[in-house]
Chains A and B, each alone.
Chain A
């Protein structure tokens, strides 16, 4: 099912969906959103690309196996939880925040990195599952 319309559309949709997923990720601290939904959206972007252009192209685009994202994201989340233990001898996962918010992104704290970790894990898991299924199909 490789149509020209879908193919052309997916070229535009991929960056837009990825941007939107990052928007959702950053929005998640006080409003609906966050790492999990963001990660799902980012994976949808790649899945759509795979539908339109074939799995091979998407893999070329990604450059590495999505399974690698799982431990990477876990490690990021883990370290963001560990940081307060190392720096301040506070309890695991205690939120540390920069004093001044940064424009666009807002306040930066360990919670953000935790969420980014979740984002990466979800992206890795979803892509691994879908790639495995469509490879064997």
Chain B
């Protein structure tokens, strides 16, 4: 297989969205193209993953301009893994949105924009150039802004404005940081910068650039104290859209943080300490926020914030084991958060609400479905042997090794609080005897759906639950993968030599 294979998952998504634009008015055709296309996309990503696993990093210099002058695309193990997870989540949400969204929302090119979003995510993971990363972030923001407003309800617009303002602010800060860095180093190729940044004499400005990057990605990944946009906006769009947002958008920020602070701004003690403090506060504030919420999707939104803390904590401790834990958690979190928001949509379809006081008794009505829904929640808490447990073991051992006991305490506190929150949610939504509420008239309840449509909604949840189970029971493989990713990340020469072979 050739090096060019690296870009196939990316180009395929672009091709899909173009084809979907041609079928603008034919929603039924769009659904079929999107689901089949996403399945092919998963196939391409699996092939890319396998190729990288077997033969090491793939590099493509776009338009054949040699690095550091052109734009490099780098598929190392981390990027290939995340592209694979993105495509899996994309397939699940594509099928799920075909069943759960009403036609009025699908009419204005929903699927086309959706694949543009996946394109942006894939590009952000694969690129090896900071400015190109900025462009992918813009593609992500613009398409997510369209997705969040499609339908045009009042609450949606309100959420979208908050979402867009803060993310746009993050983009401006990101751009400023790029400008500072370019002024200092004269290059924006990540591998080139990894060589150049340690040679810069003006350490103060390097620090400023690093902090600016930290703030920009901090807003995007919703860490303390920059997370307010997330719970204010994630419960407004339909759950299919919230699923792809919750699963992947914040994780791009985390990915960028991991990439930047393991490749370019390394051995910076101040930065590591800041990251650790942020991680602790994120874990605590996100957890406490989730405690007081009484809406299923708001609870999940706060849990996203809380669990970002685990990854940042791993990055802050910056030992081999800690990074491996962070990477494992990233893998687990993408699958589980996508799944949780799809579950919240399923609850909404069953009961017509997402508020605790209007819910209850789902376990009595649908015992098997409820048991399926508890698996991702258990893996979210980290009950052994499910997938959330293993990365936390790595993180806790790492925090003993580095004697960062505050991190240790925060990790345990956040895990515990997640348990409390999920237990409360389970009791309120599944066990409680429901109050009588009038049925909504123009609402498509789960019961009234055709079997095909039900399956289209449940199968993606089952698929992601299966992936979660694999992550838990096949933890040895995933740990091996995380350790390999970590060794690639810690040894920066590896990345540099792949992009700049003559250096």
Contact = CB atoms under 8 A, between A and B. Distances in A.
14 contacts: A67-B24, A71-B21, A71-B22, A78-B14, A82-B11, A84-B64, A89-B2, A90-B4, A90-B64, A91-B3, A91-B61, A92-B7, A92-B60, A93-B62
B25 to A, nearest CB: 10
A92 B61 CA distance: 8
Contacts of A50: none
A74 interface: yes
Contacts of A93: 62-63
Interface string B1-29: 01110010001001100110110100000
A91 B18 contact: no
Interface string A63-85: 00001001100110010001011
A82 B10 CA distance: 12
| Binding site secondary structure of chain A | helix
Interface residues of B, number: 17
B118 to A, nearest CB: 16
A94 interface: yes
Contacts, number: 39
A82 B62 CA distance: 11
A93 B24 CA distance: 27
Given A82-B11, A85-B4, A92-B11, A75 B64 contact: no
Contact of B18 (A71, A89, A90, A92): A71
Which residue, of A67, A71, A89, A90, has the highest number of chain B Cβ atoms within 10 A?
A: A71
Interface string A89-120: 11111110000000000000000000000000
Given A75-B18, A78-B15, A85-B4, A92 B24 contact: no
B62 A91 contact: yes
A91 B14 contact: no
Contacts of B24: 67
B15 A92 contact: no
Contacts of A91: 3-4, 60-64
Interface residues of A, number: 16
5 closest cross-chain pairs (CB), A and B: A71-B21, A93-B63, A94-B64, A91-B64, A74-B18
Nearest to A74: B18
Q: Which of A84, A90, A95 has the most chain B CB atoms inside 10 A of its CB?
A: A90
Contacts of B14: 78
A94 B11 contact: no
Given A71-B18, A71-B22, A78-B14, A89 B4 contact: yes
Contacts of B4: 85, 89-92
Interface of B: 2-4, 7, 11, 14-15, 18-19, 21-22, 24, 60-64
A94 B60 CA distance: 11
Contacts of A75: 18
B346 to A, nearest CB: 33
A67 B112 CA distance: 14
Contacts of A94: 63-64
Given A67-B24, A91-B61, A93-B62, 5 more contacts: A74-B21, A75-B18, A78-B11, A85-B4, A93-B63
B109 to A, nearest CB: 10
B317 to A, nearest CB: 38
B29 to A, nearest CB: 14
A70 B21 contact: yes
A93 B4 CA distance: 11
A89 B8 CA distance: 12
A96 to B, nearest CB: 10
Contacts of A71: 18-19, 21-22
B58 to A, nearest CB: 12
B293 to A, nearest CB: 39
A85 B8 CA distance: 10
A70 to B, nearest CB: 6
A57 B80 CA distance: 52
Contacts of B64: 84, 90-91, 94
Contacts of A84: 64
Contact of A92 (B19, B21, B22, B62): B62
A89 B2 CA distance: 8
B490 to A, nearest CB: 29
Contacts of B22: 71
A51 to B, nearest CB: 27
